Amino acid sequence: MKLSLAPISYFWPKADVQAFYKRVADSPVDRVYLGETICSKRRELSLDDYLRIANELRASGKEVVLSTLTLLEAAGELKELQRYCDQSDFLIEANDLAAVQRVAERGGSFVAGNAVNCYNASTLKRLVDMGMKTWNPPVELSREWLVELLDDPVARSIRSRLEVEVFSFGYLPLAYSARCFTARSEDRPKDDCRLCCINYPNGRTVYTQEDDPIFTLNGIQTQSGQRYNLLSDIDSMRGLVDFVRLSPQAEATFDWIDQFHNAIHNDPISIEIPESDINGYWHKLEGMRQL
């Protein structure tokens, strides 16, 4: 099993992003995803900036994948997507079928992100036939679902051509909307958002009226209110999962990278995750629970 680092889901200043990836270069992560996946108005870094970082990370031995926007609506967004899909130096992470179609047209291969709806072996095979190299299952799927899916003869016939990657740490990507909830939380219309997401490097936490964290607002994306953490479930991934995917946070990401790296490479030791973390989906429970 290898470690992958998801694209930064929040909106960070350019200097912070660059500093972050300088540290990633020295971390035990095997694969790094780069790019803006949430909002096309977040333009601290351009494609050229990302390519520069990508080349540096590659030089330090990392496999680099360029991630693309999830909710594509405007013509300009498709045009930008085309620029990503036209380059062939780096693998593309498709988060919408528009990206799948574009990469497949030039005979390229791609990673399917977890917002691409692939729930069964026949869909999986179709995507592999179109060039999918790595599959990120929808985050709501359990280990059991994965085992049953991959046990299907249709899936077995392509398993050797496919890597399976599971979202294992960070706030779960749960929904995408036309509405910008961060702008709304500041009582601003989306058209006049003033890029306020940049003030919330970990998003904004939403609490119930009983003060339990329930969601995290990240622009047009809604994330889980509590952190997903499969550190204590690493053993149950062996032989099933090829990449353990971690989502960057503003703090302590590198400590968690080390902990996951140790858990993967050392003998199984009993690890407990913080009480406030969750792992329900993996155990076929509601996502917000911890087993």
Partner 1 sequence: MELLCPAGSLVAVDTAITNGADAIYVGLKGGTNARRFAGLNLTVEQLTEAATRAHSHGRKLHVAINTFVHPKGFEQWQEAVDISVRCGADVLILADIALLDYAATQYPNVERHLSVQASATNLGAIDFYHRQFDVRRVVLPRVLSMPQVRALARGTDVPLEVFAFGSLCIMAEGRCYLSSYMTGESPNTAGACSPAEFVRWSEEGEDMVSRLNGVVIDRFQPDEQAGYPTLCKGRFRVEDNTYHVLEEPTSLNTLSLLPDLYNEGIAAVKIEGRQRSPAYVAQVTRVWRQAIDEVKRDPNRFQVRSTWDETLARLSEGHQTTLGAYHRKWN
Q: Which of 78, 158, 250, 264 binds partner 1 (CB under 8 A)?
A: 78
- Taking CB under 8 A as the rule, does residue 41 contact partner 1? no
**197 is an interface residue for partner 1 by CB under 8 A:** no
Q: Do residues 223 and 164 touch, judged by C-beta distance below 8 A?
A: no
CB of 112 to partner 1, least distance (A): 11
Pairing outcome for strands 213-218 and 132-135: unpaired
User: Contact with partner 1 (CB under 8 A): which of 174, 196, 250, 271?
Assistant: 174
What is the Cα–Cα distance from 230 to 238, expressed in whole angstroms?
13
- Closer residue to partner 1 in complex, CB, 64/217: 217
- Say whether residue 179 binds partner 1 (CB under 8 A): yes
Per DSSP bridges, beta strands 213-218 and 204-207 are: antiparallel
Our finding on whether 260 is near partner 1 (CB under 8 A) is no
Contact call for residue 201 and partner 1 (CB under 8 A): no
| 188 conformational bin, left if phi > 0, alpha if psi -120 to 50, beta if neither | beta
Which residue, 114 or 259, has its beta carbon nearer to partner 1? 114
Q: Pick from 25, 47, 98, 264: which binds partner 1 (CB under 8 A)?
A: 98
Amino acid at the residue 36: E
198 belongs to the binding site for partner 1 (CB under 8 A): no
User: Ramachandran region of residue 262, left (φ > 0), alpha (ψ -120 to 50) or beta?
Assistant: alpha
Among 214, 250, 264, 271, binds partner 1 (CB under 8 A): 214
Residue among 46 and 122 whose Cβ is closer to partner 1: 122
The 3-class secondary structure across 222-291, one letter per residue, is EEEEEEEECHHHHHHHCCCCCEEEECCCCCCHHHHHHHHHHHHHCCCCCCCCCCCCECCHHHCCCCCCCC
**CA–CA gap between residue 123 and residue 162 (Å, rounded):** 13
Consult the annotation and say whether 85 binds a ligand: no
Cα separation, 37 vs 7, whole angstroms: 8
204 binds partner 1 per the rule CB under 8 A: yes
The answer to whether 118 is a known ligand-binding residue is no
Among 30, 49, 63, 140, binds partner 1 (CB under 8 A): 140
The contact set with partner 1 (CB under 8 A) reads 70-75, 77-78, 81, 96-102, 115, 117-123, 126-127, 138-140, 145, 148-149, 151-152, 172, 174-181, 184-185, 189-191, 204-212, 214-215, 217, 222, 224, 280-281, 284-288
